[in-house]
Chains A and B, each alone.
Chain A
Amino acid sequence: MERKYILPCAGYDRPGGQVSRAAAERLAIIRDDVIIGSMGALFKERPGEMRDYRTSDVFCLDGCGENCASELARARGRNDSTSIVIHEVVGSIENFEGKVDRLMQSLTQEIDKTRPRVSSKITSEPPHEIELIEEKFDKFTLKVAKGLKYSDNDFWVSTEGEQVRVGVSDFLQQMMSDVYFVELAEIGTHVDMFDDAGLMESTKILVEIIVPVSGSIVEANISLEDSPEFINESPYDKGWLYVLKPDDINELELLRDAHDYMTYALAKAKEEIGKRVE
């Protein structure tokens, strides 16, 4: 089910804003697939808002001729949003309730038109197919994603243009077992290489997030707050932790490539198993 992100006009003190707000709120109550966007949060590019925004179909409710909602949607990179101009829809209806009902009908029609997404680029998810190297050890299968760099603390880094994304390796995920709580550092936090920023708590252990590169955090995977299990289910993909703007990309030369890390992780896995047997 594709989510529907409705961006109501922010002119709450004016008729168009009031009608669009009321219609959006009522629709969100009766439909599970509808979420209400915030002009303010979208303007400030708050990470949670941006995630919802990028992963949903967008419907802009324009309360007056300024078309602020549609303009902002365009400015935030969406040219496939649906614009609904309130005064065109409600026309000559006089009373407030009548206007809200009419707008809800119109919005529902638009939402239910199954339109193919023109742009499906979701920048907050890792952008490429993940190719894995797999090695069996004891009853474990270790998976190491190709093309990433790895720290000896078992975190990965991928380069995405001028930014880097970091997460935990499959080995660390397996060693931790089920993660049930993730605390992430705030956007804008600056870390030096191997500083800790946030933590993960599993049924077995509490692990600091040791960031494998110096830089400023520009995005944090806040979906982990509700779904910490992504770390176990999908450590190289949905379980990513941060996107950073690195201070010095050359630092990554200190880290291991995938094959090298596999050798290291296997040795560590043997060590861990050995401890348990003792």
Chain B
Amino acid sequence: MEENKGKGALEDDFLDEDEEDTQKDKFLTFRVGHEDYGIEIRHVTEIIGIQKITAVPDMPEFVKGVINLRGKVIPVLDMRRRFSLEDRDYDERTCIVVVNVAEAAVGLVVDTVNEVVDIPEERIEPAPEINKGGNNLMIQGLGKVGEEVKILLDVNKLLNGQTPEPPAGAEQAAVA
């Protein structure tokens, strides 16, 4: 397994030989509330600053709306709402992480973006067997980086409209 090359910038990593290989075990980490989360780097296309989001009716509460990403209209999910945390005003550290889910771009609003870290497979614990429903569904595993624990997310499950408390009256958006 590859050594933890440290927190090299994204660009440096991309210069390496095989993309598939270099992206292996790499996670983009970010903070939402009090916890750190990670998403496999191969899903991430870019990180942009927060911008005005246009609300769309009939969406689950965590779907904030849509934004214009260079002429493409993409949906944006608020991760705080996704994890049923309290809302917080967006500030200059709030970012939108654009990920690719099933060939479609989706923006994720997070409190701050941290860094890209290597988490080898053997450092990843499977999602806990407890409380398997609800939020735990979108958890791919728990990654141990030094003393810290990053919650690794399965992006494909993020869009599934299963929140602990579905917003009343709103239709559930489901991924086909």
Same complex origin of A and B: no
Interface residues of B (CB under 8 A from A): none
Interface residues of A (CB under 8 A from B): none
